[in-house]
Amino acid sequence: MLSKEEAKRKIEELRKLIRHHDYLYYVLNKPEISDAEYDKLMLELKELEEKYPEFITPDSPTQRVGGFPAEEFKTVTHTKPMLSLDSAFTEEDIRRFDERVKRELGVESVEYVVEPKLDGLSVELVYENGVFVRGSTRGDGINGEDVTENLKTIRAVPLRLREGRGVPSLLAVRGEVIMHIDDFEELNKQLIERGEEPLANPRNAAAGSLRRLDPRETAERPLDIFFYEILNIEGVEVDTQWDALNLLREWGLKVNRLIEKCSSIDDAIKYHGRMAEKREKLSYEIDGVVIKVDRLEYHEKLGIKARSPRWA
């Protein structure tokens, strides 16, 4: 029989171990243990927490599926506006964007970060001192729906950040909740077998699954998430979008492996061409490519127009 102090220590060890394996699996895609071994660790933690409920904390891996069905979602205000992007349809449009950026900044060259534009539901997640405290849908860009309990059910969402280059006192990060094509097709197959209406496409499936009023229903849906932008941060200095993405990875937040840094607009255009060729082979749907100015000080100088940034 464990003493209380030993039980507390064991619980903390198990949580740390489970978070480590979550990071290996979801962020690095390099699992070191089997699903059965992982389940065994989770079971051991659950049993200990049942015996010692006073040691249960909101960021424990066992607390992903909890809460009661809501009558409606509360509205929350984002830490910073979640902007929409202007579209560029041709190479000429992209080159015009590059020329405008260089002209307004008064520089001869600009580095860019380029990424697939994921076709899912945009969300903001807020971490305070490394602990996930709130998550919301994009909504109108200023206010969104509080879907904290539903986001907790997504295994790729860390409930506590890893210790990277120091954990920020505040981190608000933007991500995209998606459903992979194979998972979407399997879900539709199950819905049809139950005599229910199939879902229209993976984007609608992801949005509808995240916005279930009962988090337990969301937990049954195969959702994934990628993080791609720091909206707000306190306690850690970040100079570039590329550095921001590397920090997110260090903190255990899943970042798309296809994101690249480009030294010129020519490289960004080549990336766009490669993505167009890869598009049909990806496991998820994309809606084009996003091209962002890398230096964050340039973002400040370029500013925003209406509700879209002038730096992407």
pLDDT tens-digit series, residues 270-285: 999 999 999 999 999 9
DSSP string, 230-271: EEEEESS---BHHHHHHHHHHTT----TT-EEESSHHHHHHH
The label of the residue with tokens 């950040």 reads: 161
**pLDDT score for 85:** 75
User: Can you list the residues of the chain whose pLDDT is less than 50?
Assistant: 306
Give how many domains the chain has, as a whole number: 2
254 is catalytic: no
> With contact defined as beta carbons under 8 Å apart, do 25 and 39 qualify?
no
**pLDDT score for 84:** 81
DSSP state for residue 107 in the 8-state scheme? -
**pLDDT score for 311:** 74
Same structural domain, 185 and 292: yes
Phi, psi of 72 (to 5 degrees): -160, 165
User: pTM for this structure?
Assistant: 0.91
**pLDDT score for 70:** 76
Catalytic residue chosen out of the listed positions 117, 261, 270, 301: 117
Report the distance separating Cα 137 and Cα 77, nearest Å. 10
Question: Could you tell me if residue 19 is inside a domain?
Answer: yes
**pLDDT score for 52:** 95
Name the residue range of residue 117's domain: 87-309
Q: Domain containing 16 — which CATH number?
A: 1.10.287.610
pLDDT per residue over 205-218, tens digit each? 999 999 999 999 99
On the CB side of 224, CA atoms within 13 Å amount to 20
Question: Could you tell me if residue 137 is inside a domain?
Answer: yes
